[in-house]
Amino acid sequence: MTTAERPNIVLIHWHDVGTHLGAYGHGDVTSPAIDELAAQGLRFDRAFCTTPLCSPARGSLFTGRYPHNHGLMGLVNRGWEYRPGQRTAPALLSELGYRTALIGQQHESRDPSRLGFDELYPWDAGAARCGPVSAKAVEWLESAPAEPFFLTVGFFETHRPYPAAQYPPVDPASVDVPPFLPDNHHTRGDLAGFLGSIRVADAATGRVLDAIERTGLAESTLVLFTTDHGIAFPRAKGTLYDPGIRVALLARPPRAWHVAAGTADGLISHVDVLPTLLDLAGGQIPPSVQGTSFAAVLRGEPAEPRTEIFAEKNFHDEYDPIRCIRTDRFAYIRNLEPGTPMRLSGDIEAAPVRSGLGEDHLRPRPVEELYDLDADPWQLRDLAPDPAYTQVKRELTARLEAWMAETNDPVLSGAVDTPRLPPGTPGRKDTKHDE
């Protein structure tokens, strides 16, 4: 592969938005920049993160490994870090001659210099608002290096809270309430603020995309857009249901490749992003990488689709070990501490939606759950107790347990201990607004 064939890469990532965008069929959402990006490139309709929590999800995106393998089994601000020896996308691409830069949000390390970027322009979590971050990204693109580059642009949005002064809310009456949430004024008011934050973040994304066009970089630049996990609402963020782990993934290949725009319906996992980038850059994929390249799809070529994705949850505000396998049709979830209630993350507990939620989610969870996604896409009818699905459940159980064994999942040996930052440690957070 010649240097001319290696694309520049711009990765734009948001917080907590899942697929809640116009491009994914949400008609009440104003996201014209993202929608246009989807129309110009490829929209992956069934893309998934590895976990519905910020730090570990981002860790998988940047290492191509599952959280229990890369080490970020919980939040950085709770004491988690990458295990020694983890190799990240920026470090690996730097070795291939790419200039790598981070602008804005990261949540994989308390020390951004460990992440492997050549240039760092980080903001602390909560301060990486899309306005100043996008302005810095535009400035960087206007003087982009001559060598191939990998630029990541991270927004804090659409993380909670949604102050009206920063994110003017939409009319609550115009909101479409997802079927997994109660339709009441608490939920509508909360979604109105969330949609306001989407509108602001989308405009900032548009400024970055405009800069790529204006500077002539669109001919040679792959633009990727994704998010860490699902929306910060009950039965989404912090859960292994689709609203928690399904994510937006958009890719606009370099214009010079002449790849037709469209949709890609195959299953994709965030662990597949790193090997894809290395493949496109002409590098070797390390044996430690657990994902599979989908570079062929980005080149407009046939590709073998995944048959399943795996996801996990370990720590957020507290220990909550869950594992799942998700195929084209079924989702099987294993609750490793059955009898406990569904745990809402602290930011959701403190949110307006919680006031109208009731207490139904506090019922004890079963050992296992099974959902037929064709008949029940919102996963509201648990089929695990139904004898008619015994064989399906047996097959999915075997596949999940094989994956856990192959990846040396530590929960097979019992509960996982959590690291704890001592009181007073800079960056420690113990509050309801943890990521």
**pLDDT by 10s per residue, the chain, length 435:** 444 589 999 999 999 999 999 999 999 999 999 999 999 999 999 999 999 999 999 999 999 999 999 999 999 988 999 999 999 999 999 999 999 999 999 999 999 999 999 999 988 777 779 999 999 999 999 999 999 999 999 999 999 999 999 999 999 999 999 999 999 999 999 999 999 999 999 999 999 999 999 999 999 999 999 999 999 999 999 999 999 999 999 999 999 999 999 999 999 999 999 999 999 999 999 999 999 999 999 999 999 999 999 999 999 889 999 999 999 999 999 999 999 999 999 999 999 999 999 998 999 999 999 999 999 999 999 999 999 999 999 999 999 999 999 999 999 999 998 886 555 554 444 433 345
Task: Indicate whether this model's pTM tops 0.75.
Answer: yes
112 within 8 A of 122, measured Cβ to Cβ = yes
Q: Are 235 and 181 in contact (CB under 8 A)?
A: yes
Say how far apart CA 195 and CA 322 lie, in whole Å: 29
Side-by-side strand order, sheet with 330-335: 309-315, 319-326, 330-335, 368-372
Where in the chain do CATH 3.30.1120.10 domains reside? Answer: 309-412
Question: What's the DSSP call for residue 290?
Answer: -
Tokens 């800079």 belong to which residue?
A: 426
Return residue ranges of the chain for CATH 3.40.720.10: 7-298
Q: Cis bond leading into 161, ω under 30°?
A: yes
In this structure, the strands spanning 262-269 and 42-48 are parallel
Query: Cβ distance 379 to 331 under 8 Å?
Result: yes
What's the CATH code, domain 309-412? 3.30.1120.10
Does domain 7-298 match CATH 3.90.78.10? no
